[in-house]
Structure 1
Amino acid sequence: MLNISRRVRRWLPITAVLLAAPSLLFAWGTWGHQRINRAAVLALPPGLRTLFYNHIDFMVEESVVPDLRKYTLNDRAEYPRHFIDLEDYGSAPVSELPQTSTAAYAKYEPAFLDKSGRLPWHIQDMMGKLTQAMKNGRKDDILFIAADLGHYLGDAVQPLHTSANHDGQLTGQRGIHAFFESQLVEQFGHTYNFRVAAPRVIDPVSETWRIIAQSHAAADTLLSIERQLAATTPPASIYALDAQGQVKKNVFNSQIHALPYATSYHQALRHMVERQLRVAVQASANYWYTAWVNAGKPDLAKLDTDYTTRSNEQNLKEELKQLEKGKLVDFSSYPEF
């Protein structure tokens, strides 16, 4: 198994390729995913936090690697892990869908799952792998799987990742996916409170479906609010325009909404974006903590040297002090908007 420093170096050239690629949609974008994982690490109890904080830079950077596999490496197995189009599974409540990954893989053909999404069941699979990695005391496995799991939980709380109308294409709202999850987050995320409760032990199966159901219920809300706002806004005021009067686009070819329009939409959502990000932070901390408890609460701090832990003590104290005010330390993320 590669050590963490080698693994990070391995992904640097891939990241460079990603940043040059057009028309990509990431749940919460780089900015959001990275802050979900960072805040979740800080929410952990000391017995678990030490290892994760010693490698917090890796936890932050790895948070976007599932999207690198999906788009940059074109890993076809990766695509369905990021969403579930609940409409494809019928009109029954989620409680009537196969709850476990074992049941889902027995009921549905692989081609159907690849088309309509595997997200809730993949989260369960990752939890099993994380628990086993903690039992085995394999540091690289623990950090790699946990960071990826934080990404998929972030996807699960993005409402449009639970709907077939994932980019508003069925309601004449193309572009709302990136608008909701990236532009709003980048422009207003600095005002959000990232402090959450201490993690608790959860039932991964029922909790995953609770999150999916809550997210799906919010999808229609965010779509309808934007439709109403667009209907009462002059078309020329919806998008940011360049000197030639053309709609500005970001590096991924997504249309950029005008700041006044984005501000109005953000306010009309009544903190929905911030709430969903906080749900993702809490979920990541809860799932990591549950895996650790189910593994027997192994002493993971011993996987690092005392020197490594001591070297990070002062920075940890400063970050926890910031988090008392709901804030994260300032660090740079690639700007998508």
Structure 2
Amino acid sequence: MLNFSRRARRGLLATVLLLAAPSLLFAWGNWGHPRINRAAVLALPASLRTFFYNHVDFMVTESVIPDSRKYVINDKAEFPRHFIDLEHFGTGAISEMAQKPADAYAKYDAALLDKSGRLPWYIQEMLAKLTTSMKNQRKDEILFLAADLGHYLGDAHQPLHTSSNHDGQLTGQKGVHAFYESQLPELFGSSYNFKLSEPRLIEDPAAETWAIIARSHAAADTLLAIEKKLATETGADKLYEMTAEGKPRKNVFNSSYHTQAYSSAYHTALNRMIERQMRGAAQATANFWYTAWVNAGKPDLSKLDSEYTTKSNAKNLKNELKLIQKGKLVDFATFTEFPAVTAAAK
């Protein structure tokens, strides 16, 4: 039997889990979530960054696991944590909705929350749990909760995760979900700038979470309107790659490949929206991690690792900090949802 390294086993597990889950659950796919978490780690202040960088491989790998958790271990509670269909909560302003978890669970029926999503409230719960784990200096809990919190903040920055029209199915645009969050980033993400600002303390986590949701929801209508207009102008026969048999080309998740020309046109028309949303997700992740740490009393997490571990990672950290000053992340392999398209684009 082959003796896999721990890193190889984690990578293999992540790939298996991803292949087991339908792509509609994803937000930023397997390309985006790992890079969001990695950029967030590099943005942290030195006193906190060292600890998280010592475990950056875990932070990257764990970033995609929440998308598969429901299907692998049949966790029925997982699915509604990734989205909120705001339209299902009435026509009032977002500010009129229950802002905090306790208020939401008192105001809304559990069946409504399971059907229409719990994302903004779950983010707040995760922040509270991370704060407690940092206060108690429980290493494994800190890493697990922080990595997962980064995932849900990534989801909150994916506009289609805030709308009942999550795959364009209500407007004749079915398939736009994977197109927007996976195919386009895989094609053009190498040009994105992931340099962030220093993280800031979030004084009001509920208000901050809902501000993120509101901005994302506004962007959902924009991205759908742009795609609808462009598709009409382009013509149906030029939207998708076709097989030799004349059928739409599909990836392993049964998502259609859009043509290179149409992908490029849509990405240009979005005017770097995807880059802004991903960078916003990474910045929010750094902000929420930092806030948990401050509210926990700024514990010295570096003592949770051996001096050998920290010294072993010092050179790589230094190199990555140089790269991020240029907005770039170190090149690392992740599962590709649209491999043929990505390869052709290089």
AA matched with 1:312 = N
AA matched with 2:297 = G
Structure 2 CA distance for aligned equivalents of residues 273 and 281 of structure 1: 12
Pair 1:156-2:156 in alignment: yes
Pair 1:27-2:10 in alignment: no
SS at match of 1:232: helix
In the TM superposition, what are the counterparts of 1:1-337 in structure 2 within 5 Å? Answer: 9=9, 12-13=12-13, 15-19=15-19, 24-202=24-202, 203-337=204-338
AA matched with 2:40 = A
Structure 2 CA distance for aligned equivalents of residues 286 and 213 of structure 1: 18
| 1:250-289 Cα deviation digits (max 9, x unpaired) | 1100011001000000000001000000100000000000
Relative to structure 1, is the Cα distance of residues 10 and 265 closer, same or farther in structure 2, using a 3 angstrom cutoff? closer
Deviation at 1:14, TM superposition (A): 6.2
AA matched with 2:278 = L
AA matched with 1:52 = F
AA matched with 2:65 = V
Q: CA RMSD in A?
A: 1.6
Structure 2 CA distance for aligned equivalents of residues 59 and 21 of structure 1: 20
Query: Does structure 2 conserve the Cα–Cα contact (< 8 Å) formed by 1:8 and 1:58?
Result: no
Relative to structure 1, is the Cα distance of residues 275 and 14 closer, same or farther in structure 2, using a 3 angstrom cutoff? closer
Query: Does structure 1 conserve the Cα–Cα contact (< 8 Å) formed by 2:197 and 2:283?
Result: yes
| 1:208-247 Cα deviation digits (max 9, x unpaired) | 0000000000000000000000111121110011222211
Query: Does structure 2 conserve the Cα–Cα contact (< 8 Å) formed by 1:162 and 1:216?
Result: yes
Relative to structure 1, is the Cα distance of residues 227 and 24 closer, same or farther in structure 2, using a 3 angstrom cutoff? closer
AA matched with 1:132 = T
AA matched with 2:38 = R
SS at match of 2:37: helix
| 1:170-225 Cα deviation digits (max 9, x unpaired) | 00000000000000010000000000100000121110000000000000000000
AA matched with 2:173 = Q
Relative to structure 1, is the Cα distance of residues 265 and 10 closer, same or farther in structure 2, using a 3 angstrom cutoff? closer
The runs of at least 4 aligned residues of structure 1 exceeding 3 Å deviation read 5-15, 20-25
Give me the TM-score of the superposition, normalised by structure 1: 0.96
Give the number of equivalent residue pairs. Answer: 333
Structure 1 CA distance for aligned equivalents of residues 182 and 193 of structure 2: 17
Query: Does structure 2 conserve the Cα–Cα contact (< 8 Å) formed by 1:62 and 1:144?
Result: yes
AA matched with 1:310 = K
- Unmatched tracts of structure 2, length 5 or more: 339-346
AA matched with 1:106 = A
AA matched with 2:80 = P
Give me the TM-score of the superposition, normalised by structure 2: 0.93
